[in-house]
């Protein structure tokens, strides 16, 4: 029976434990240019005792950005900034993957090249509010439905970002296909109404994701690539008419490609960290889809240390990703292992700012 603290083979890597630092948007890159810098390197290095760190979502292009001050991974300055981060994590014997991100319609023209509309599979405006480039909240805009040539350009952007992540010294990449961002928008029929090769059937709606996966595995090797999903998640106005059929197909295709891992968010935490509520009246997606994927299976969403131990020991997942608890507990592995108290987080400092609520949370045994 495995435990949280046993090593895990994840693709071509051996993780020192099964506690994963989930990708956490913190909006603290250096401006202008959305560049990681020394503060970010300190923050990630503090958390290097995790079996694996998955970086905050990192846009593959200017078009892929949807929030102010989120980092990119497509310019030389951004690559150099991320090299500070990966070097700092590796110096502490940690491992770190870059999470590659295109937000699609979850953006605003103020983030876009030449202030163009955000892009999406279909011209469907999401509900809710969006942050502009100057940190103001406003209604979403009607997105531009991507044409086939534009989709080809996005695939080139993913290729370039994969190459940049390699140059920056990451140990691998995670493809963000969760929480209502571009690849998820293509997957789910609530947001994808296309009638071409990227719409209609499940196979067509999954086409873009699988093309990105194939690009990533060509550049990185299959043992250094993972992907993240949020079946039944409603964050960012998402829905699908047959979640089981859709994600069973996706998991089966990824299993055939032998990627290192899949990372699934439980729908009980469907608000993607935007509140502390946990809905326990939802299906267990780990129960539904783990059987379709033979590689490492990472589960995330509303876990406590105790429920994480139960999930791994019971075979529900191979590793557990923690998000908010990693914000306020840089030494989360040690605290869980030694049953030490967990520090509370301050939601008011989650997004934007400097070291306060970011790199100033103390270690228990400092």
Q: Is 27 left (phi over 0), alpha (psi -120 to 50) or beta?
A: left
Share of the chain above pLDDT 90, in %: 94
Contact in structure between 50 and 18 (CB atoms under 8 Å)? no
H or E, element range at 259: none
pLDDT at 14 over 80: yes
Q: How confident is the model at residue 365 (pLDDT cuts 50, 70, 90)?
A: confident
- CA atoms of 102 and 84, how far apart (whole Å): 23
**If we measure between CA atoms, which residue out of 181, 59, 186 comes closest to residue 113?**
59
The single residue of 181, 232, 303, 345 carrying the catalytic annotation is 181
Q: How confident is the model at residue 206 (pLDDT cuts 50, 70, 90)?
A: very high
- CA atoms of 149 and 189, how far apart (whole Å): 22
Please give the C-alpha separations between residue 299 and each of 258, 319, 322, in angstroms, as whole numbers. Answer: 18, 6, 9
- CA atoms of 196 and 87, how far apart (whole Å): 44
Q: Which residue is it, tokens 């873009």?
A: 208
pLDDT for res 278: 57
Taking each helix axis as running N to C, give the angle between helix 207-220 and helix 148-167, from 0 to 180 degrees, rounded to the nearest 10: 30
Contact in structure between 95 and 15 (CB atoms under 8 Å)? yes
Give the tokens for residue 32.
């202008």
Give the tokens for residue 178.
């969760």
Decide: helix, strand or coil at residue 261.
Answer: strand
Phi, psi (degrees; rounded to nearest 5) at 322: -110, 135
Query: Domain locations in the chain?
Result: 8-349
pLDDT for res 1: 78
Tell me which of 283 and 214 has the higher pLDDT: 214
pLDDT for res 298: 98
CATH 3.20.20.70 at 8-349, yes or no? yes
pLDDT at 147 over 90: yes
pLDDT tens column, 279-288:
666 789 999 9
pLDDT for res 268: 79
pLDDT tens column, 159-168:
999 999 999 9
Q: How confident is the model at residue 76 (pLDDT cuts 50, 70, 90)?
A: very high
| Average pLDDT, integer, range 96-116 | 98
Of the ranges 79-88, 230-239, 269-278, which one carries the lowest mean pLDDT score? 269-278
- CA atoms of 299 and 333, how far apart (whole Å): 16
Other C-beta atoms lying within 10 Å of the C-beta of residue 352: 15
- Is 67 a catalytic site residue? no
pLDDT for res 280: 60
pLDDT for res 272: 56
- CA atoms of 341 and 337, how far apart (whole Å): 11
Long-range contacts (CB closer than 8 Å, 24 or more residues apart) made by 338-345:
340/364, 340/365, 342/305
The 3 state secondary structure assigned to 25-93 is CCCCCECCCCECCHHHHHHHHHCCCCCEEEEEEEECCCCCCCCCCCCECCCHHHHHHHHHHHHHHHHCC
**If we measure between CA atoms, which residue out of 320, 291, 315 comes closest to residue 305?**
320
pLDDT for res 113: 97
pLDDT at 277 over 60: no
| Average pLDDT, integer, range 39-59 | 98
pTM: 0.97
| Average pLDDT, integer, range 109-122 | 98
pLDDT for res 275: 56
| Average pLDDT, integer, range 175-191 | 98
Give the tokens for residue 233.
């998640």
């Amino acid at each position: 029976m495995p435990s949280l603290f046993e090593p895990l083979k994840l693709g071509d890597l051996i993780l020192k434990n099964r506690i994963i630092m989930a990708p956490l948007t913190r909006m603290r890159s250096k401006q202008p240019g959305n560049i990681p810098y020394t503060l970010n390197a300190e923050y990630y290095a503090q958390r290097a005792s995790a079996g694996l760190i998955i970086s905050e979502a990192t846009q593959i292009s200017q078009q892929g950005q949807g929030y102010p001050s989120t980092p990119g991974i497509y310019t030389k300055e951004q690559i150099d900034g991320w090299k500070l981060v990966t070097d700092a994590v590796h110096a502490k014997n940690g491992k770190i993957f870059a999470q590659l991100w295109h937000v699609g319609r979850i953006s605003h023209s103020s983030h876009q090249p030449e202030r163009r509309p955000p892009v999406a599979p279909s011209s469907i405006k999401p509900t809710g509010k969006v942050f502009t480039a100057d940190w103001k909240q406003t209604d979403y805009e009607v997105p531009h439905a991507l044409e086939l040539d534009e989709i080809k350009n996005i695939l080139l952007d993913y290729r370039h970002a994969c190459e940049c992540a390699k140059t920056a010294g990451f140990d691998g990449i995670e493809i963000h296909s969760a929480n209502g961002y571009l690849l998820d928008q293509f997957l789910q029929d609530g947001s994808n109404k296309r009638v071409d090769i990227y719409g209609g059937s499940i196979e067509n709606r999954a086409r873009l994701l699988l093309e990105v996966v194939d690009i990533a595995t060509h550049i990185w090797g299959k043992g250094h690539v993972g992907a993240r999903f949020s079946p039944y998640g409603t964050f960012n106005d998402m829905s699908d008419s047959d979640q089981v059929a859709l994600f069973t197909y996706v998991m089966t295709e990824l299993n055939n490609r032998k990627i290192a891992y899949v990372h699934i968010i439980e729908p009980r935490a469907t608000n993607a960290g935007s509140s502390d509520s946990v809905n326990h009246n939802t299906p267990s997606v780990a129960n539904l889809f783990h059987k379709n994927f033979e590689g490492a299976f990472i589960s995330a969403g509303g876990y406590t240390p105790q429920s994480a131990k139960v999930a791994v020991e019971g075979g529900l997942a191979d590793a557990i990703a923690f998000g908010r608890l990693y914000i306020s507990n840089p030494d989360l592995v040690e605290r869980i292992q030694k049953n030490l108290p967990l520090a509370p987080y301050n939601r008011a400092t989650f997004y934007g700012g400097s070291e306060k609520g970011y790199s100033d949370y103390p270690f228990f045994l400092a």
